[in-house]
């Protein structure tokens, strides 16, 4: 069975999607901005992003069906 994964496409606003994942994990993220894919941490089946919110910076890894892992920076 093929595993589905979270994939952020060009037509979607990465900041909104990454901020939603942060909030879904119990963190606050108001005024999200500067969402950037982190190629040094990303893997073929695991996208990693960094983002700035009013509360601080976060690294978010999208892990397919298991959801997102959020790490305050």
Which residue, 49, 50, 60, 1, is CA-closest to 26?
60
CA 58 from centroid of its chain's CA atoms: 8
Mean pLDDT of 20-41: 96
Q: Give me the residue label for tokens 């952020």.
A: 8
Instruction: Encode burial over 50-59: b for 16+ CB neighbours within 10 A, e otherwise.
Output: bbbbeeeebb
pLDDT tens-place string over residues 36-56: 999 999 998 899 999 999 999
User: What's the whole-model pTM score?
Assistant: 0.80
Q: In which residue are the tokens 């997102």 written?
A: 68
Residue 12 has pLDDT above 90, yes or no: no
Mean pLDDT of the residues in the chain:
87
Helix (H) or strand (E) holding 22: helix 14-24
């Amino acid at each position: 069975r093929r595993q589905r994964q979270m994939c952020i496409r060009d037509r979607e606003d990465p900041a909104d999607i990454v901020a939603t994942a942060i909030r879904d994990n119990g963190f606050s993220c108001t005024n999200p901005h500067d969402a950037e894919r982190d190629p040094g941490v990303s893997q073929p089946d695991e996208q990693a992003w960094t983002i700035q919110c009013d509360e601080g910076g976060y690294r978010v890894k999208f892990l397919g069906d298991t959801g997102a892992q959020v790490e305050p920076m």
